[in-house]
Amino acid sequence: MKVITTIREMQFEINRQKNQSISIGFVPTMGFLHEGHLTLIKKARKENDVVVLSIFVNPLQFGPGEDYDSYPRDFERDRALAESGQVDFVFFPSVEEMYPSSPSIKITALNRTDVLCGKSRPGHFNGVATVLTKLFNIVRPHRAYFGLKDAQQVAVVDGLIKDFNFPIELRPVDIIREQDGLAKSSRNVNLLPEERIQAPVLFNSLQTAKMSIESGERNTQNIISIVSKMITMETNGLIDYVEVYSYPQLKPLERLSGTVIVAIAVKFSRVRLIDNLIIEIDEGILE
Ligand code: PAF
């Protein structure tokens, strides 16, 4: 496994691989790898000749007062995990390498960003779209792997790939959870001990919503109310949003039908957690 810190060297290696008609799988991350990332790597490993993992905490996608500074970082640990996942190249650039000067072009994510994290984190998806445009151009992968915990991100990236004609296959991967149901996230380490005990309520509330839908509930507001009540009563977290939309369109629904997402974001004292369930109505439950 080779660790690369400059764009020039990464492009040189990619050119070398492409000259040999080799397929490239790309797993973009912000590091502090967990089992969710390892699942993406495993999938990329299985489906491609070469696997590139990027580790870059992208300042552009964090708003003022968000957790850019406290976002967990541990490169040596990440390096060992990447090695164990048989990654070929780790791209680990500095902020100066990625953003050496102020930009002359601005990328704005327009569709599907007026709800969920797009609404509560203004500019977040512009930052995600900008860094991914750069990374896609640097790595030029055949396939790119993203976790469905960030289901809105997957929908936005789908738009980015289509709008800018990147010849990349988007490969969404299911959420990986702890045994108690908490969705794996690099940010979980920033939960206080009592918050860690409460945090599985997020998943339990989504499961309760799913059971209610399975029993015939089709009213969006009733689902939002079931989830909100559980989180408010059983955690000290502050609800940022509990929302239900069609997926992947992210359009509001009065009555639930088709494929829907029940998505939540909850602020604990040092960390904001997100989770979701994507549910196929009428044709059985997907997740
Ligand atoms: O999901 C993430 O970790 C980030 O948003 C990504 C895709 C690596 C872009 O910085």
Residue 58 CA: nearest ligand 1 atom is: 10
Distance from the CA of 229 to the center of ligand 1, in angstroms?
30
In the residue annotation, 37 being an active-site residue is answered as yes
Angle between helices 7-19 and 124-139 (to 10 degrees): 50
- What is the reported pLDDT for 131? 98
Going along 48-125, which residue ranges are E strands? 50-55, 89-91
Give the pLDDT score at 282.
Answer: 75
Can you tell me the distance from the alpha carbon of 152 to that of 157, in angstroms, rounded to the nearest whole number? 9
Is the C-beta atom of 28 inside 6 A of ligand 1? yes
Distances (CA, A) of 125 to 46, 68, 153, 264: 29, 15, 7, 17
Give yes or no for residue 190 CB within 6 A of ligand 1.
Answer: no
Q: How many C-beta atoms surround the C-beta of residue 21 within 10 A?
A: 7
pLDDT in tens, the chain (287 residues): 999 999 999 999 999 999 999 999 999 999 999 999 999 999 999 999 999 999 999 999 999 999 999 999 999 999 999 999 999 999 999 999 999 999 999 999 999 999 999 999 999 999 999 999 999 999 999 999 999 999 999 999 999 999 999 999 999 999 999 999 999 999 999 999 999 999 999 999 999 999 999 999 999 999 999 999 999 999 999 999 999 999 999 999 989 999 999 999 999 999 999 999 999 997 545 44
Pocket test of ligand 1: the residue of 37, 131, 175 to mutate, having most ligand atoms within 8 Å of its CB, is 131
pLDDT at 24: 98
- 150 ligand 1 Cβ < 6 A: yes
Q: Is 152 in the pocket of ligand 1 (CB under 6 A)?
A: no
Tell me what pLDDT residue 283 has. 56
Query: What kind and span of H or E run contains 76?
Result: helix 75-84
User: What is the tens place of the pLDDT at every residue in 131-163?
Assistant: 999 999 999 999 999 999 999 999 999 999 999
pLDDT of residue 141: 98
pLDDT at 7: 98
Ligand 1 pocket check: which of 26, 27, 29 to mutate, most ligand atoms within 8 Å of Cβ? 29
Q: What residue ranges define each of the domains in the chain, with the CATH number in brackets? A: 2-173 (3.40.50.620), 186-286 (3.30.1300.10)
Q: Is the CB of 29 under 6 A from ligand 1?
A: yes
State the distance from the centre of ligand 1 to the C-alpha of 234, rounded, in angstroms.
Answer: 30
Q: Take atom 9 of ligand 1 and give the residue whose Cα is closest.
A: 128
Question: Atom 5 (ligand 1): residue with closest C-alpha?
Answer: 128
DSSP 3-state of 62: coil
